[in-house]
């Protein structure tokens, strides 16, 4: 079985798309390790900006228009359930910080990840709303709600910097050993690589 690291941020629609297609990789023999990162920090690191400075739109207007059109092309092509989120720039930072704490603790939390992605990209909910975040946590320890803004943010910041140093520049990113596959539309290439390596 091949080990794949999957770098994601809840606020990325393309990371959400990747989660809906993960069977492409697991059916090809992949064992997925989920790695939460702050995408805004990755952008600031690329631009040599202070980590927590305000992140502007990294796209020129034509690229932004293509980005938005591509979202709807892929939804239609892949038949993925989708609703435009509650905000043009959904903020899942608290949920990301909690995901980092759960990952560090080795706690299985596929239910939490799925609930947050659904809250943003299907149910038009704000995951920073305490009631939404608590509902998504389900049976997980509610102490995480207090730890997220402090320990969780610190941990996720450190992990994002480490990911950038490994070559991660955006999400979704899949890493096979030290090979980077960027984008939900590169999953077929990665699946083919996995299949070829086991045949």
pLDDT < 70 positions in the chain: 199
pLDDT number for residue 197: 81
Domains of the chain: 2-198 (3.40.30.10)
**What is the pLDDT, as a whole number, of residue 144?**
96
- pLDDT value, residue 192: 96
Question: Tell me, what's the pLDDT at 89?
Answer: 86
| In contact, 180 and 171? CB cutoff 8 Å | no
**Which among 119, 57, 60 has a CA at the least distance from the CA of 91?**
119
The per-residue pLDDT for range 171-186, each reduced to its tens digit, is 999 999 999 999 999 9
- CA neighbor of 112 nearest in space, from 82, 144, 150: 144
Measured in residues, the chain has a length of 199
Sign for the pseudo-dihedral over CA of 23, 9, 141, 86: negative
d(CA 98, CA 118): 16
The pLDDT of residue 199: 64
Task: Return the bridge partners of 180, or none.
Answer: 175
pLDDT at 9: 98
């Amino acid at each position: 079985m091949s080990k794949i690291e999957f770098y994601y941020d809840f606020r990325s629609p393309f990371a959400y798309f990747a989660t809906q297609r993960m069977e492409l990789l697991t059916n090809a023999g992949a064992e997925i390790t989920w790695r939460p990162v702050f995408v805004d920090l990755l952008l600031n690191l690329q631009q040599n900006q202070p980590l927590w400075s305000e992140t502007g739109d990294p796209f020129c207007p034509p690229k932004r228009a293509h980005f938005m059109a591509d979202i709807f092309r892929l939804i239609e092509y892949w038949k993925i359930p989708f609703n435009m989120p509650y905000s043009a720039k959904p903020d899942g930072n608290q949920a990301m910080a909690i995901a980092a704490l759960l990952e560090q603790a080795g706690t299985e939390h596929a239910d939490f990840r799925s609930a947050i992605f659904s809250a943003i990209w299907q149910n038009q909910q704000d995951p920073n709303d305490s009631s939404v975040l608590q509902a998504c946590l389900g049976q997980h320890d509610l102490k995480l709600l207090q730890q997220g803004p402090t320990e969780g943010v610190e941990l996720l910041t450190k992990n994002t910097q480490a990911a950038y140093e490994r070559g991660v520049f955006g999400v979704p990113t899949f890493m096979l050993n030290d090979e980077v596959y960027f984008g939900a539309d590169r999953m077929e290439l990665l699946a083919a690589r996995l299949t070829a390596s086991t045949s």
